[in-house]
Amino acid sequence: HEIQELMELDKKHFLHPTSPVQQQQQDGPGFIFTKGEGVFLEDIQGRRVIDGMSSLWNVNIGHGREEMGEVAKEQMSTLAFSSCFATYSNEPAIRLAAKLAEVAPGHLSATFFTSGGSESNDTAYKLARHYWILKGQPEKKKIVTRTKSYHGVAMGATSATGLKPFRDFTNSLAPDFHYVDHFSPDALREFIETEGADSIAAFVAEPVQGAGGVHIAPETYFKEVRAICDQYDILFITDEVITGFGRTGTYFGIEHYGVVPDMMCFAKGVTSGYAQLGGVMISDQVHQAFKDHSTGTLLHGYTYSGHATACRVALKNLEIIEREQLIDNAKEMGEELLAGFQKLQSKHNLIGEVRALGLMGAVEIVKDQQTNERFATPLAPLVVTEAAKRGLVLRSVVFDGQDTLVFAPPLTINKEEIEQMMTILSETFSAIVPSEKT
Ligand code: PLP
């Protein structure tokens, strides 16, 4: 009775984010989750599923951590929130900014806080452009991003997103955003040469493209990008919203490539979803420009920038990641995940390329393993539906003719749980197309 009531209320009153509206109207919510424990989620009907996506690539420490609830309660009961505008501050925000400076690569040493990834991206574009205004080059305003990128849904972040369906959702975008091929440093160089470096503020990239289908850059890509940005005096911004805080087996994704950006956006894993928080880290050099040239007010700030409870929760989350060595676990279990995919590939004709960096992985679905031919209608969404019925939550990516399954389980996952994931996947594939190799 209660379930039925919730289903009806959901249909009537809840417009879901990134949702198939008609299907939701017809079927109601697929799962109403009530509980989480480690890599598992449980719904109102008592169904238990593996959260193979860490929900939205973010619950890095896993679900149901009591100590997170305890620090949130303690902070909320003492000082839930106070403004950080102007010269006001609070201890959790100060300590988190200092902690981030300690763990971030290179000279990224100061943080502007937001409430999530989209706000972080919009903030980075504004700060980058403001930097050039302060440096006396206000014509440097173009933001260059990549064709398969996803940077969020605020107006700037939507405009920066390379994946076209997200931009086509609306009919007017922010100006001065441009897209170059996702893995070609030459494409970036050509764009700069054509447009003129004096019109370009920044180049933005995800260290591993997530929502676009977990695309891992060639080993030399970011070194070349860094060199091009240096050569043409363009700021290099990384969007570590997914790749930050251990996801790929290093603290930040860009560490795999041995370069340091001028600014870095983060969110998601900074709190593992136990509170809403994001931010932008800036380099000493960018910070210095603000210190030297800002004569007025830095006119950019969210009510919740430096939210005391969210920052306190983030500090505890980072403590857990370090205490339980979850970054090392992500690296080790990432290798297990990839090995699991490879085993599945040898068993199922449907599986084409497989890839993973730490616990960020993808499987391509193909009609023919030899020719890489695709199905006319992507199968990945059906795999997601069928896997969910069998106890595994994952996600499909079908942009640009892709037919891809993506994975990002909590960093706490163990070998046995990965095996469980693979068993469910194998059963799902066999149920969809009984094409097991013998
Ligand atoms: N940037 C990247 C790389 C993301 O993957 C996402 C969300 O998935 C965002 C930005 C947007 O973050 P949020 O949904 O917290 O606004």
Distance (angstroms) between ligand 1 centre and the Cα of 242 equals: 7
- Domains of the chain as residue ranges with CATH: 31-61+325-432 (3.90.1150.10), 67-323 (3.40.640.10)
Note the pLDDT tens digit of each residue in 177-223: 999 999 999 999 999 999 999 999 999 999 999 999 999 999 999 99
Asked if 216 contacts 249 with a C-beta cutoff of 8 angstroms, the reply is no
Distance (angstroms) between ligand 1 centre and the Cα of 278 equals: 10
Residues 6+ away with beta carbon under 8 Å from 361: 214, 334, 337, 338, 341, 354, 355, 406, 407, 408
Note the pLDDT tens digit of each residue in 303-325: 999 999 999 999 999 999 999 99
The answer, yes or no, to whether any atom of ligand 1 lies below 6 A from the CB of 360, is no
User: Which residue's entry shows tokens 């009907």?
Assistant: 45
Residue type, 55: S
State which of 268, 270, 277, 302 you would mutate to test the pocket of ligand 1, scoring each by most atoms of that ligand within 8 A of its C-beta.
268
C-beta neighbour count of 61 within 10 angstroms: 28
Distance (angstroms) between ligand 1 centre and the Cα of 51 equals: 18
Q: Single out the residue of 62, 57, 59, 60 nearest to residue 38, CA to CA.
A: 62
The yes-or-no verdict on residue 78 having pLDDT over 70 is: yes
The answer, yes or no, to whether any atom of ligand 1 lies below 6 A from the CB of 152, is yes
Over range 371-387, report the average pLDDT: 95
Nearest atom within ligand 1 for CA of residue 149: 3
Q: What is the pLDDT of residue 437?
A: 55
Distance CA 154, CA 117 (A): 9
User: Which residue's entry shows tokens 């890489």?
Assistant: 372
Over range 237-243, report the average pLDDT: 98
The yes-or-no verdict on residue 37 having pLDDT over 90 is: yes
The answer, yes or no, to whether any atom of ligand 1 lies below 6 A from the CB of 267, is yes
State which of 208, 242, 304, 360 you would mutate to test the pocket of ligand 1, scoring each by most atoms of that ligand within 8 A of its C-beta.
242
Q: What is the pLDDT of residue 252?
A: 98
Beta bridge partners of 283: 108
Beta bridge partners of 396: 405
State which of 241, 270, 406 you would mutate to test the pocket of ligand 1, scoring each by most atoms of that ligand within 8 A of its C-beta.
241
The answer, yes or no, to whether any atom of ligand 1 lies below 6 A from the CB of 121, is yes
The yes-or-no verdict on residue 435 having pLDDT over 70 is: no
Q: Encoding tokens for residue 411? A: 């960093």
How long is the chain?
A: 438
Over range 248-261, report the average pLDDT: 98
Distance (angstroms) between ligand 1 centre and the Cα of 107 equals: 24
% residues pLDDT > 90 (the chain): 96
Distance CA 122, CA 152 (A): 9
DSSP state of 368: B
Confidence of residue 400 (pLDDT cuts 50, 70, 90): confident
Asked if 388 contacts 424 with a C-beta cutoff of 8 angstroms, the reply is no
Note the pLDDT tens digit of each residue in 256-290: 999 999 999 999 999 999 999 999 999 999 999 99
Note the pLDDT tens digit of each residue in 323-338: 999 999 999 999 999 9
Nearest atom within ligand 1 for CA of residue 210: 5
Distance (angstroms) between ligand 1 centre and the Cα of 23 equals: 24
Asked if 40 contacts 392 with a C-beta cutoff of 8 angstroms, the reply is no
Confidence of residue 295 (pLDDT cuts 50, 70, 90): confident
The answer, yes or no, to whether any atom of ligand 1 lies below 6 A from the CB of 253, is no
Asked if 260 contacts 124 with a C-beta cutoff of 8 angstroms, the reply is no
Q: What is the pLDDT of residue 433?
A: 80
Q: Encoding tokens for residue 297? A: 């007010």
Nearest atom within ligand 1 for CA of residue 58: 8
Distance (angstroms) between ligand 1 centre and the Cα of 42 equals: 25
The answer, yes or no, to whether any atom of ligand 1 lies below 6 A from the CB of 118, is yes
Tell me the backbone φ, ψ of residue 284, rounded to 5 degrees: -55, -40
ipTM over the 0.90 cut-off: yes
Distance (angstroms) between ligand 1 centre and the Cα of 435 equals: 37
Distance (angstroms) between ligand 1 centre and the Cα of 164 equals: 16
Nearest atom within ligand 1 for CA of residue 119: 16
Beta bridge partners of 405: 363, 396
Confidence of residue 66 (pLDDT cuts 50, 70, 90): very high
% residues pLDDT > 70 (the chain): 99
Over range 95-100, report the average pLDDT: 98
Asked if 217 contacts 183 with a C-beta cutoff of 8 angstroms, the reply is yes
The yes-or-no verdict on residue 438 having pLDDT over 90 is: no
Q: Which helix (H) or strand (E) holds 407?
A: strand 404-407
The answer, yes or no, to whether any atom of ligand 1 lies below 6 A from the CB of 207, is no
Nearest atom within ligand 1 for CA of residue 267: 15
The answer, yes or no, to whether any atom of ligand 1 lies below 6 A from the CB of 257, is no
Note the pLDDT tens digit of each residue in 107-157: 999 999 999 999 999 999 999 999 999 999 999 999 999 999 999 999 999
Mean of all residue pLDDT scores within the chain: 96
The answer, yes or no, to whether any atom of ligand 1 lies below 6 A from the CB of 150, is yes
Q: Encoding tokens for residue 376? A: 């006319």
